[in-house]
Amino acid sequence: MNKERIKQFPFVFFLIPYIHISLAMDYLFDSIIGIFLFVLVTAIIGFFAKRTQQLPLLVIGNIINILLSGLLILQKSPLVNLYHSSSPFTAIAPLCVLFLISQITGIFWGSFFIKESSLTLNKKTSDR
């Protein structure tokens, strides 16, 4: 495999309906561990996307995942039956926003460390 294919591998995560899986985990186990787990994973993927300059792939992955979540709701997936809310869309919408915010946070830290590493590289080259 070439390097570009390996860099794109983490974005396969967006083909998994992680919004539904996090809600199912939370309702089955009566905890919010699923949400915390996927918030952490999405922040790491946002950080990775910024570090490898793959933000367009991140945007495409988010669109695919949101469409996949909507499709699962419309097809009355067994995961939807686990929600205790009156409408599955009311459970999914805030989670989409939460996961997008965690990705933006990951992107911010990725850009921060890119700037930090370029500053230290410039400082090392100017010291010579």
21 token code pair: 């899986």
pLDDT at 118: 57
- Residue 9: exposed, middle, or buried by beta-carbon count in 10 A (0-12, 13-18, 19+)? exposed
pLDDT, tens digit (0-9, with 9 covering 90-100), for 93-121: 888 888 889 888 988 888 877 766 655 55
**Range with the poorest average pLDDT among 47-51, 108-112, 120-124:** 120-124
The mean pLDDT of 8-18, rounded to a whole number, is: 74
Task: Indicate the domain borders of the chain.
Answer: 3-127
Average pLDDT, the chain: 76
